[in-house]
Structure 1
Amino acid sequence: MAYLIGRSVDSGLEFSSSELTGALGDSVTVLPLLVALAATTSVSLPHVLVGFGIFQIVWGVYYGMPLSIEPMKALVGLAIVGSLSYPELAAAGLLAGAVLLAIGSFGLVGHLQRVVGEPVVRGVQFAVALLLLEAAVGLSAGNVPVAVAGLAVVGLFAVAGYRSVSILIVLALGGLAALVTAGVPTPRLPAAALFPAGTPTLSTAALEGTVAQLGMTLGNAAIATELLCGDLYDRDVSADSLSKSMGVTCLAAVPIGGVPMCHGSGGLAGKHAFGARTGGANVLLGVGYLAIALVAAGAVLAAFPMAVLGALLVVVAVELARAAFEPVSGRRSLAVVVGVGAVGLAVNVGVAFVLGAVAFWLLSRET
Structure 2
Amino acid sequence: MAYSFRSPTDSDLEFSPSELTGALGDSVTVLPLLVALAATTSVSLPHVLVGFGVFQIVWGLYYGMPLSVEPMKALVGLAIVGTLSYAELAAAGLLAGGVLLVVGRLGLVGRLERVVGEPVIRGVQLAVALLLLEAAVDLSLGNLPMAAGGLAVVGLLALVGYRQASVLVVLGLGGVAAVATAGVPTPVVPDLAVFPAGSPSLSAAALEGTVAQLGMTVGNAAIATALLCGDLYDRDVSPDDLSQSMGVTCLAAIPLGGVPMCHGSGGLAGKYAFGARTGGANVLLGIGYLALALVAAGAVLAAFPTAILGVLLVVVALELGRAAFAPVDDRRSLAVVAAVGVVGLAGNVGVAFGLGTVAFWLLSRSSRGV
Bucket of the pairwise TM-score, normalised by the shorter protein: over 0.9
Q: Partner residue of 1:364?
A: 364
Paired letter, 2:11: S
Q: Where in structure 2 are there 5+ consecutive unaligned residues?
A: 1-7
> Could you tell me whether the CA contact under 8 Å between 2:78 and 2:128 is conserved in 1?
yes
> Could you tell me whether the CA contact under 8 Å between 2:60 and 2:283 is conserved in 1?
yes
Q: Partner residue of 2:266?
A: 266
Give the distance between the partners of 1:58 and 1:11, measured in 2 at CA.
14
Q: Partner residue of 2:104?
A: 104
Give the distance between the partners of 1:66 and 1:87, measured in 2 at CA.
31
> Could you tell me whether the CA contact under 8 Å between 1:10 and 1:65 is conserved in 2?
no
Counterpart check, 1:234 vs 2:234: yes
> Could you tell me whether the CA contact under 8 Å between 1:226 and 1:236 is conserved in 2?
yes
Q: Where in structure 1 are there 5+ consecutive unaligned residues?
A: 1-7
**Residues 243-322 of structure 1 mapped to structure 2, 5 A cutoff:** 243-322=243-322
Report Cα offsets for 1:333-366 as digits up to 9, x if no partner: 0000000000000111100000000000011110
For 2:235, what is the secondary structure of its paired residue?
coil
Give the distance between the partners of 2:146 and 2:294, measured in 1 at CA.
28
For 2:15, what is the secondary structure of its paired residue?
coil
Give the distance between the partners of 2:341 and 2:78, measured in 1 at CA.
14
| Displacement of 1:9 | 5.2
Counterpart check, 1:198 vs 2:198: yes
> Could you tell me whether the CA contact under 8 Å between 1:174 and 1:308 is conserved in 2?
yes
For 1:33, what is the secondary structure of its paired residue?
helix
Q: Partner residue of 1:331?
A: 331
Q: Partner residue of 1:4?
A: none
Report Cα offsets for 1:67-89 as digits up to 9, x if no partner: 00000000000000000000000
**Residues 36-51 of structure 1 mapped to structure 2, 5 A cutoff:** 36-51=36-51
For 2:196, what is the secondary structure of its paired residue?
coil
For 1:28, what is the secondary structure of its paired residue?
coil
Q: Partner residue of 1:214?
A: 214
Q: Partner residue of 2:132?
A: 132
- Say if 1:346 and 1:10 are closer, same or farther in 2 by CA, change over 3 A: farther
Paired letter, 1:171: L
**Residues 125-164 of structure 1 mapped to structure 2, 5 A cutoff:** 125-164=125-164
Report Cα offsets for 1:194-218 as digits up to 9, x if no partner: 0000000000000000000000000
Paired letter, 1:212: A
Counting matched residue pairs gives 361
> Could you tell me whether the CA contact under 8 Å between 2:14 and 2:279 is conserved in 1?
yes
> Could you tell me whether the CA contact under 8 Å between 1:11 and 1:62 is conserved in 2?
no
| TM-score, length-scaled by structure 1 | 0.97
What RMSD over aligned residues (CA atoms) do the two structures have, in Å?
Answer: 1.0
> Could you tell me whether the CA contact under 8 Å between 1:336 and 1:359 is conserved in 2?
yes
- Say if 1:9 and 1:120 are closer, same or farther in 2 by CA, change over 3 A: farther
Q: Partner residue of 1:3?
A: none
How many percent of aligned residue pairs carry the same amino acid? 81
Give the distance between the partners of 1:242 and 1:166, measured in 2 at CA.
30
Q: Partner residue of 2:3?
A: none
| Displacement of 1:136 | 0.3
> Could you tell me whether the CA contact under 8 Å between 1:9 and 1:237 is conserved in 2?
no
Report Cα offsets for 1:266-305 as digits up to 9, x if no partner: 0000100000000000000000000000000000000000
Give the distance between the partners of 1:319 and 1:10, measured in 2 at CA.
35
| Displacement of 1:25 | 1.6
Q: Partner residue of 1:20?
A: 20
